[in-house]
Amino acid sequence: MDEREAAISIAISSADVGGADELRRRILGLPLRPGETTTVDLRAASSIDSAMLSAVVASHKLLAFRGERLVVACRRGPLPATFQMTGVSAYISLVA
């Protein structure tokens, strides 16, 4: 990640309903930053449920509407596989 991508990083340790609510609150609280990237750090999570996947997609849509970009940091294993299997990785970048 370059310096712009690291400008705002949101670490979420549990990729479930609780984490989804936290992600929504934190994304909605971000200042407007057109052209900037926000990284959602899910590297501490070992799996992801549908609530968190939905929150990531909704966050991506909101940030894209504002002229911003969302990147998801996750380690190898079930998370990237879930993003690929659901087609979300086609429009949200995943980084290690």
DSSP secondary structure letter of residue 79 = H
Residue 94 has a pLDDT of 96
> Which residue in 89, 52, 50, 44 sits closest to 71, CA to CA?
89
49 occurs within a structural domain: yes
**Residues 63, 70: contact at Cβ < 8 Å?**
yes
62 occurs within a structural domain: yes
Tokens of 8: 């705002």
- If one counts the domains in the chain, the total is 1
Residue 12 has a pLDDT of 83
48 occurs within a structural domain: yes
Please give the model's pTM, rounded to 2 decimal places.
0.86
Instruction: Print the domain residue range for 37.
Output: 8-95
Residue 1 has a pLDDT of 44
1 occurs within a structural domain: no
CATH number of the domain to which 65 belongs: 3.30.750.24
Q: pLDDT tens track of the chain, all 96 residues?
A: 444 444 578 888 778 788 899 999 999 999 989 999 999 999 988 889 999 999 999 999 999 999 999 999 999 888 999 999 999 999 999 998
41 occurs within a structural domain: yes
**Residues 40, 72: contact at Cβ < 8 Å?**
yes
26 occurs within a structural domain: yes
Quickly list DSSP for 18-65: HHHHHHHHHHHTSPP-TT-EEEEE-TT-S---HHHHHHHHHHHHHHHH
Residue 6 has a pLDDT of 43
